């Protein structure tokens, strides 16, 4: 894997919008996030098409990809922060310059729909990417927890994945492998086809937005993954947040899908996904699950280069 350099005070952060458009209240929220980040000693550069809405539902795929390619190629940009989630960051896949990305590795971060983009970048280039808070949520979160987690990971090179008490064991065991995954519905979309990713010997982390995805749909996604041999390939499973009005837990759905057919360890935590307090999870970095250890999961190697 190719490890990006850490972020330092005074560095420039590029902001892009690979998913839904930045319109309405989002514009003011993005400006407030910029103000906060700049107050903390960083510079912020908005991409050319950040506020575009060419299609009426987002900017075009080429506009989005142009922004991402530019941010990777621009030597002054030290980190790329995705503005918000949505539904169609996968539209950029056709137009990304993976060679430029590989030759100019840098931090790129976001969650929800952004995990589609970050997983494909890691798969195509070997560059470690990150599932963490979006740029907009720096302004809209009630606390600075998620923003501070990003600073700890990117500036301070911290390697902790939350607190030990955040975790519970669903199925015991030990596993080692590179981290892969993010949002369940988006990860499901990377199982097969032209832009499929390799789940072999990976630790898969999954979360879902219960407001949009009910238990039957979550079951649908997980069965699709099972039917395409994902669970035959992975080494371990890490389940994140899922809040649905039925009070059905994601781990219950997972266990119904996988049954007793697999013996990999499964852990659960409510510290990533569509929740207020999110840690930052590196995609492509080696980690270890050990359900007998105080730390149920820990990173086994650095995910940013200290300079």
Of 52-56, 68-72, 100-104, 107-111, which gets the smallest average pLDDT?
52-56
Is 163 exposed, middle or buried, given 0-12, 13-18 or 19+ CB atoms closer than 10 A? Answer: exposed
> What is the C-alpha to C-alpha distance for residues 150 and 133, in angstroms, rounded to an integer?
7
Q: Which residues of 23-60 are buried (b: 16+ CB within 10 A; e: fewer)?
A: eeebeebbeebbeebeeeebbbebbebbbbeeeeebbb
CATH classification of 12-154, choosing from 3.40.50.10740, 3.30.1780.10, 3.30.110.40, 3.10.105.10?
A: 3.40.50.10740
Domain boundaries, the chain: 12-154, 164-299
Residue 193 CA to its chain's centroid (Å): 21
Q: What is the pLDDT of residues 231-285, one digit of tens each?
A: 999 999 999 999 888 889 999 999 999 999 999 999 999 999 999 999 999 999 9
211 pLDDT higher than 90: no
Average the pLDDT over 119-134 and give the result: 98
Q: Which residues of 205-240 are buried (b: 16+ CB within 10 A; e: fewer)?
A: bbbbbbeebebeebbbbbeebbeeebbeebbbbbbb
Residue 92 CA to its chain's centroid (Å): 16
Residue 120 pLDDT = 98
210 pLDDT higher than 90: no
Residue 245 pLDDT = 87
> What is the C-alpha to C-alpha distance for residues 193 and 18, in angstroms, rounded to an integer?
21
Q: Say yes or no: do domains 12-154 and 164-299 share a fold.
A: no
Q: What is the pLDDT of residues 145-198, one digit of tens each?
A: 999 999 999 999 999 999 999 999 999 999 999 999 999 999 999 999 999 999
Residue 247 pLDDT = 86
Topology adopted by domain 164-299: Glucose Oxidase; domain 1 (3.50.30)
């Amino acid at each position: 894997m190719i490890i990006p350099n850490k972020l330092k005070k005074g560095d420039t952060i590029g902001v892009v919008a690979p998913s839904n458009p930045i319109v309405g209240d989002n514009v003011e929220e993005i400006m407030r996030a910029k103000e906060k980040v700049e107050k903390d000693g960083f510079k912020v550069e908005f991409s050319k098409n950040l506020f575009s809405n060419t299609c009426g539902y987002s900017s075009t795929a080429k506009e989005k990809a142009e922004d991402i390619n530019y941010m990777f190629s621009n030597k002054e940009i030290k980190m790329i922060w995705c503005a918000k989630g949505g539904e169609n960051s996968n539209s950029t896949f056709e137009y990304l310059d993976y060679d430029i990305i590989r030759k100019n590795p840098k931090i790129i971060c976001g969650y929800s729909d952004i995990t589609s983009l970050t997983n494909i970048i890691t798969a195509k280039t070997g560059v470690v990417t990150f599932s963490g808070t979006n740029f907009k949520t720096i302004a809209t979160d009630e606390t600075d927890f998620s923003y501070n987690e990003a600073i700890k990971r990117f500036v301070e090179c911290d390697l902790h994945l939350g607190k030990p008490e955040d975790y519970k064991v669903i199925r015991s065991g030990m596993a080692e492998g590179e981290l892969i995954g993010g949002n369940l519905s988006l990860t499901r979309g990377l199982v097969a086809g032209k832009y499929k990713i390799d789940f072999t010997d990976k630790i898969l982390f999954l979360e879902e937005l219960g407001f949009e995805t009910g238990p039957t749909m979550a079951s649908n996604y997980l069965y699709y993954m099972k039917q395409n041999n994902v669970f035959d390939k992975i080494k371990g499973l890490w389940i994140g947040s899922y809040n649905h009005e039925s009070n059905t837990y994601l781990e219950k759905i997972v266990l119904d899908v996988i049954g007793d057919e697999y013996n990999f360890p499964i852990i659960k935590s409510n510290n990533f996904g569509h929740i207020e307090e999110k840690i930052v999870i590196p995609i492509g970095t080696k980690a270890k699950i050990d359900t007998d250890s105080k730390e149920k999961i820990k990173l086994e190697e650095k995910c940013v280069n200290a300079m």
